[in-house]
Structure 1
Amino acid sequence: MAEALLKSSCSRSAVRAVCLDLSGVNHPTDQQRILDWLRSDFYGLTCLIHLPL
């Protein structure tokens, strides 16, 4: 993500939403790890994980 932001000349503060398509994050510990990563990189961004039913 850092590379994409750099190439687009955008700052992290310009990010309003992140949509990730991930496989293998069904387990709560995996979900928490992803949320922690997003929150550390994009402080203040509301982060949700939506799993298909």
Structure 2
Amino acid sequence: MKALCWEGVNKLAVDQVPDPVLRNDQDVVVRLIAGTTCGSDLHLIGGCIPMGM
């Protein structure tokens, strides 16, 4: 599957990544039809990583 990957400050890439796997009885795999980046994630793209993480 493809995923949007953060590779560093101002570096994003769409990469091929392994398919998700179920590891225990409470896991689920959800097929996403549409998505977007959360506004708070934009700080990570610019290199600002909050101390609480």
TM-score by length of 1: 0.20
User: Larger % of helix: which?
Assistant: 1
Please tell me whether Structure 1 or Structure 2 has the larger radius of gyration of its CA atoms.
2
User: Larger % of strand: which?
Assistant: 2
TM-score by length of 2: 0.20
